[in-house]
Amino acid sequence: MIVLEKRPQPSRVWSYATPLVAVLATMFFGGVLFAILGKNPVEAIGTIFWEPLFGEFAFYYRPQLLVKGAPLVLIAIGLSLGFRAGIWNIGAEGQYIMGAIFGAGAGLAFYPLDAFYIFPIMVIAGAFGGWLWAMIPAFLKVRFGTNEILVSLMLVYVAEQMLASVSLGLLKNPEGFGFPGSRNLQSYDSAHNAELIAGSGMHWGVVTALIAVIFAYVLLNRHMLGFHIRLTGEAPRAAKFAGVNPARLILFCLGLSGALAGLAGMFEVSGPSGVVSIDFNVGYGFTAIIVAFLGRLHPVGILLAGGLMALTYIGGEIAQSQLGLPAAAIQVFQGMLLFFLLAFDLLTNYRIRAARNEVA
């Protein structure tokens, strides 16, 4: 009989090995999935992980890794701070959408004015939009004790309806011949989040993501607030006796994660995407949850995990075009990563032991 036995102390070996083992398991079982779909598993896995970095057109795909990875890292950093404190913001997708709406709305309000201060205003508006949307579950939890998981998740669907509404109404391009969607911000220089170095993929969203990584590392390791976050997640009772204010921590963690998600949305809509449209959101808010856990809720780990997840995005798109893999298969492949990560993470706190059946 196989039983799980709780370890006296969490295993440091499994804590560090889990992400690697999860990636290997995902590659293996993902290959099985691709084989079932009639594709060569070795070729499919190679296309996903090799082509964007070392393939014939890698010079084009490498900058895209920064474009895809930046919003994932930015959102995941905010989520990780809350997750470490046991505060579960699952609605970053909605905050990402609201950041895009607020940011684009602020920029388009000045159209066609050419002024240097428009983009900074958009940055502030985007962060505020995400923060405001995250404050709804934060306030309800602090005031009425509601479950922030359910409230933040349900607000995603509200945000999606608001996105459709402004695409068809408030932000609709008056020169768009009746088609839904806003003006293209890439054509409005004062509101465009352009590449800082041509052809590099480096834009202000990438810079902000790197700053967020540094900020989170310093906060968690050099600031009392970071200590309170870690203490609350690891030992809630000890945090209570240490005088940690739970309401203040909830407001801070949810607010910061919402602001970062809003910034990700603003940088995306003013840069790579360019327009507010009904199908603007592509699931970055949900994928960032995988990135946060794959990076072990550590800022540097999240930076690396964001790059890996961006690789699966770009490689998945290549596999779809070259090998004919369905988009759903790539999404399942990405979902496997979270599944195996959580599954193998169990071995950090438990060991598998063979127990003999006792005869009564």
Q: What is the model's pLDDT at position 7?
A: 85
pLDDT of 356: 67
Q: What is the pLDDT of residue 238?
A: 86
Question: Which residue from 11, 82, 89, 92 is spatially nearest to 228, judged by alpha carbons?
Answer: 82
Alpha helices in the chain (DSSP H): 12-36, 41-49, 51-54, 58-84, 92-108, 118-144, 148-168, 204-222, 224-234, 236-241, 246-269, 284-294, 299-323, 327-349
Residues in the chain predicted with pLDDT less than 50, given as ranges, are 360
pLDDT digits (tens, 9 = 90+) for 212-254: 999 999 999 999 999 999 999 888 888 888 888 999 999 999 9
pLDDT at 44: 94
pTM listed for this prediction: 0.93
Which pLDDT score is estimated for 226?
93
The pLDDT score that the predictor gives to residue 360 is: 46
